[in-house]
């Protein structure tokens, strides 16, 4: 039985993804569930975070968002029975690779999958769903009447964030980095209030948002990265298209929430003063916090169940690529790690 792993330090330090043969699974514990994997979504591996939490093994498992069928349960497992259809996200310190036919998962990382949700969509929506819920529910408390700016709304995460914000009654503005992205956002139903095309690098995002909100600014901003320096100091085109941190502070309304994915964000005293005058907040979006601590495990499982319910009722319509067969998993994961995959990649067994 094959399983996909990331080999640390191979090929002169570059990430190398390798298949390893597994003879058999370790003995199942009392709280373990043996799952036959039907689909596994591939997500970018945050190697910096892994090293910071001291996960520095030579081989790290790849693929954590899985959907599948329960084959066997431990003595203390009460929520699942054999033949149940389940989904879940494996914890960061899991020894199991989701890109494997059969795995062992602790019962507290799984929830039931609705029958009408297909395997690929279930696995492919989990990660982005958790990120969207973390950003919009727990960090910014989205509610009807709020205005939300979702940067790069045509990305897999952006699409789910747009759909969740709209479902909660918010008015959504989004940015597009290409003509294809713009057309994708314009096709969404319900419609996005405004799509700001930034592909030519000339559109002023702050000005467009203030115009759309009558000068009041937006209540919630979900960025997809920010420029910390001037355009001339940025090396690649994508970074040059990102909004500057000053633009985001400018377009924030009074009492606004800025949810950032920029782990190295630096705010100068004038930036902080402007945020203070607006009574605005800055929050860092790290969806791994749910699995780094078990304190809020109940809330986390409720999020997973809610994501499945939204998928079942077509509130969520994820951006997924065509399912990938197992023998192409290595190539797909290399694309994901290099940020070359525009849609979510899902391995189908």
Cβ-proximal residues to 79 (8 Å cutoff; 6+ apart), any chain: 107, 110
C-alpha closest to that of 198 among 170, 217, 225: 225
Residues 252 and 219 placed together within one structural domain of the fold: yes
Residues 70 and 157 placed together within one structural domain of the fold: no
Residues 302 and 275 placed together within one structural domain of the fold: no
Number of domains comprising the chain: 2
Q: Which residues pair with 151 in a beta bridge?
A: none
Q: Is 175 helix (H, G, I), strand (E, B) or coil?
A: strand
Position 25 confidence tier, pLDDT thresholds 50, 70, 90 = confident
The answer as to whether 139 is a domain residue is: no
Q: Which residues pair with 88 in a beta bridge?
A: 66, 110
The answer to whether 218 and 170 have CB atoms below 8 angstroms apart is: no
Residues 273 and 152 placed together within one structural domain of the fold: yes
Per-residue pLDDT reduced to its tens digit, 256-305: 999 999 999 999 999 999 999 999 999 999 988 888 777 788 899 999 99
The answer as to whether 31 is a domain residue is: yes
Q: Which residues pair with 92 in a beta bridge?
A: none
Position 46 confidence tier, pLDDT thresholds 50, 70, 90 = confident
The answer as to whether 264 is a domain residue is: yes
CATH number at residue 200: 3.40.50.720
Average pLDDT of the chain is 91
- pLDDT for 114 equals 96
Q: Is 287 helix (H, G, I), strand (E, B) or coil?
A: coil
- pLDDT for 15 equals 62
Question: What's the whole-number mean pLDDT along residues 219-245?
Answer: 79
Position 14 confidence tier, pLDDT thresholds 50, 70, 90 = low
Q: Which residues pair with 65 in a beta bridge?
A: 41, 89
Q: In the structure encoding, which two tokens stand for residue 174, read together?
A: 């989004």
Position 232 confidence tier, pLDDT thresholds 50, 70, 90 = low
Q: What's the predicted TM-score (pTM) here?
A: 0.93
Percent share of the chain, pLDDT over 70: 95
The answer as to whether 53 is a domain residue is: yes
Question: What's the whole-number mean pLDDT along residues 155-167?
Answer: 96
- Mark which of 244, 264, 284 sits at the end of a domain: 284
Range of the domain at 69: 2-124+295-348
Q: Is the dihedral of CA 65, 109, 310, 138 positive or negative?
A: negative
Per-residue pLDDT reduced to its tens digit, 55-95: 777 788 999 999 999 999 999 999 999 999 999 999 988 88
Position 233 confidence tier, pLDDT thresholds 50, 70, 90 = low
């Amino acid at each position: 039985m094959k399983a996909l792993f990331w080999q640390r330090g191979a090929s002169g330090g570059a990430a190398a993804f390798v298949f390893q043969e597994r003879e058999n699974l370790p003995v199942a514990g009392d709280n373990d569930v043996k799952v036959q994997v039907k689909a596994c979504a591939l997500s970018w591996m945050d190697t910096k975070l892994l090293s910071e939490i001291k996960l520095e093994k030579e081989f790290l498992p790849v693929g954590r968002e899985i959907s599948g069928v329960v084959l066997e349960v431990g003595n203390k497992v009460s929520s699942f029975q054999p033949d149940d259809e389940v989904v879940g996200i494996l914890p960061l310190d899991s020894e199991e690779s989701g890109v494997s036919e059969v795995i062992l998962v602790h019962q507290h990382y799984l929830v039931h999958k609705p029958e009408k949700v297909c395997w690929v969509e279930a696995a492919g929506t989990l990660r982005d769903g958790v990120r969207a819920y973390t950003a919009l529910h727990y960090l910014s408390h989205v509610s009807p009447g709020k205005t939300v700016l979702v940067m790069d709304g045509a990305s897999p995460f952006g699409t789910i964030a747009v759909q969740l914000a709209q479902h909660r009654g918010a008015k959504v503005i989004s940015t597009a980095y290409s003509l294809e992205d713009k057309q994708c956002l314009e096709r969404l139903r319900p419609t996005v209030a405004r799509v700001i095309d930034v592909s030519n690098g000339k559109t002023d995002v702050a000005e467009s948002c203030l115009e759309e909100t009558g000068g009041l600014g937006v209540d919630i901003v979900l960025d997809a990265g920010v420029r910390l320096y001037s355009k001339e100091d940025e090396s690649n085109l994508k970074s040059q298209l990102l909004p500057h941190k000053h633009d985001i502070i400018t377009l924030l309304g009074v009492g606004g929430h800025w949810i950032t994915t920029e782990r190295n964000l630096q705010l100068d005293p004038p930036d902080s003063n402007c945020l203070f005058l607006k009574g605005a907040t800055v929050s860092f979006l790290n969806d791994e916090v749910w699995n780094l601590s078990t304190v809020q495990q109940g809330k986390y499982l409720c999020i997973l169940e809610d994501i499945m319910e939204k998928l079942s009722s077509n509130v969520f319509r994820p951006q997924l690529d065509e399912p990938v067969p197992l023998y192409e998993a290595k190539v797909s994961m290399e694309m994901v790690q290099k940020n070359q995959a525009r849609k979510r990649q899902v391995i189908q067994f």
